[in-house]
C-alpha cells in the first residue's frame, strides 16, 4: 500500500514540476518570440549593411579614391550614395551620407591634419586635435553639418595615421593605406561614428 503512495507522490510531484516548467516555458517562449522578432529586425538592418560591408576590398577602393560615375569616394567606392544612405543606421552620430560619400569630410580632415602636423613637427599629435578641428570647421558647410562628436571619430583616425604613418601619409598613396591598415587606424572610425563599415 505504501508503494503506490510513493509512486503517486512521485507522479504528482513530476506533474506539478511539469506544469511549472510549462508556465515558465510560456514566458520563455514569448521571450524567444520577442527575441526572434528583434533578430529578424536586425537581419533587415544587416542585409542593408551588407551592401556596404566588404566594398573596400571588392571595389578595390583606396582611402583617396575619388567619387566617380555615381559611386562614392574613398573606401566606399563600391557603393553609391543611395545605397550608403539606405544602410545608415538611425543611431549614427555621423548621419552624413552625402559628405561621407563625396569624401568631403575625410578629405578635409586629411588635409587639415597634414597642414597642422607638418607645422608642428616633433609635437605629439593628440594635443593638436583642437587645431585640426578648427581647420576643418573653416568649411562652413562642414561646420554646420558635422557635430564635434562625429568629427572626433575622424580626428582619432587622423591622429593614428599621423602618429604611426607620418612619412607614408605625407601624400595619398597605397603605402599610406597599407600603413594605416597595419596600425588599425581606419576600422575604428566606423564603430565610433556608427556608420556601416566598408571593410
What is the full DSSP assignment across 3-39? HHHHHHHHHHHHHHHHHHHHHHHHHHHHHHHHHHHHH
119 and 179 belong to one structural domain: yes
Assess contact for 158 and 128: CB atoms under 8 A.
no
* Residue 70 Ramachandran class (φ > 0 left, ψ -120 to 50 alpha, else beta): left
Report if residue 135 sits inside a domain: yes
Report how far residue 156's alpha carbon sits from residue 104's, in angstroms, rounded to the nearest whole number.
17
122 and 179 belong to one structural domain: yes
Residue 78: phi and psi, rounded to 5, are: -85, 0
Q: What is the pTM of this model?
A: 0.73
Residues 6+ apart with CB under 8 A from 148: 133
Report if residue 29 sits inside a domain: yes
Report if residue 173 sits inside a domain: yes
Report if residue 165 sits inside a domain: yes
Assess contact for 139 and 108: CB atoms under 8 A.
yes
Predicted confidence pLDDT, tens digits, the chain (199 residues) = 444 444 333 443 444 444 444 443 433 333 332 332 332 333 334 444 458 999 998 889 999 999 999 999 999 999 999 999 999 999 999 999 999 999 999 999 999 999 999 999 999 999 999 999 999 999 999 999 999 999 999 999 999 999 999 999 999 999 999 999 999 999 999 999 999 999 9
Per the structure, the complete domain to which residue 35 belongs is given by 1-46
Domain count, the chain: 2
Report how far residue 156's alpha carbon sits from residue 154's, in angstroms, rounded to the nearest whole number.
5
16 and 110 belong to one structural domain: no
99 and 170 belong to one structural domain: yes
Report if residue 82 sits inside a domain: no
Amino acid at each position: 500500500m505504501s508503494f503506490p503512495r510513493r509512486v503517486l507522490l512521485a507522479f504528482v510531484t513530476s506533474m506539478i514540476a511539469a506544469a511549472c516548467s510549462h508556465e515558465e516555458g510560456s514566458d520563455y517562449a514569448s521571450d524567444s518570440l520577442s527575441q526572434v522578432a528583434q533578430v529578424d529586425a536586425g537581419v533587415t538592418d544587416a542585409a542593408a549593411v551588407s551592401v556596404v560591408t566588404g566594398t573596400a576590398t571588392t571595389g578595390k577602393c583606396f582611402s583617396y579614391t575619388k567619387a566617380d560615375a555615381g559611386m562614392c569616394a574613398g573606401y566606399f567606392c563600391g557603393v553609391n550614395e543611395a545605397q550608403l544612405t539606405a544602410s545608415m543606421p538611425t543611431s549614427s552620430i555621423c548621419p552624413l551620407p552625402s559628405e561621407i560619400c563625396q569624401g568631403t569630410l575625410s578629405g578635409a580632415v586629411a588635409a587639415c591634419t597634414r597642414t597642422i602636423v607638418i607645422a608642428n613637427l616633433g609635437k605629439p599629435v593628440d594635443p593638436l586635435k583642437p587645431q585640426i578641428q578648427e581647420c576643418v570647421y573653416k568649411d562652413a558647410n562642414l561646420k554646420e553639418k558635422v557635430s564635434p562628436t562625429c568629427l572626433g571619430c575622424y580626428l582619432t583616425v587622423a591622429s593614428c595615421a599621423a602618429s604611426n604613418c607620418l612619412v607614408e601619409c605625407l601624400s595619398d598613396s597605397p603605402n599610406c593605406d597599407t600603413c594605416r591598415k597595419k596600425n588599425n587606424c581606419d576600422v575604428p572610425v566606423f564603430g565610433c561614428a556608427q556608420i556601416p563599415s566598408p571593410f
